Amino acid sequence: MVRKWNELYSLQEVFVKIILGLESTNSFDDYVKRWYESGGTQVTQEVNNWHESHKK
């Protein structure tokens, strides 16, 4: 996850602009696509695995 984090972090700017209304909500689909193409699938899986292993 760490190797891909810089690239994924840069997508945060797009996400914030969508929330602030500076980008169209239609941009969200492109944001999600770029997230997963840039390693988001792996990050999501690692976070889900961590969460499962730390459930009480």
Give the domain ranges of the chain.
Answer: 2-53
- Token couple for 12: 């945060």
Whether 17 contacts 56, CB under 8 Å? no
Q: What is the SS3 assignment for 24-45? A: CCCHHHHHHHHHHHHHHHHHHH
**Nearest by Cα to 16 from 27, 7, 5:** 27
pLDDT, tens only, 2-56: 677 777 778 888 889 999 999 998 999 999 998 888 888 888 898 999 999 998 7
Task: Measure the CA–CA gap between 14 and 27, rounded to whole angstroms.
Answer: 8
Q: What is the pTM of this model?
A: 0.62
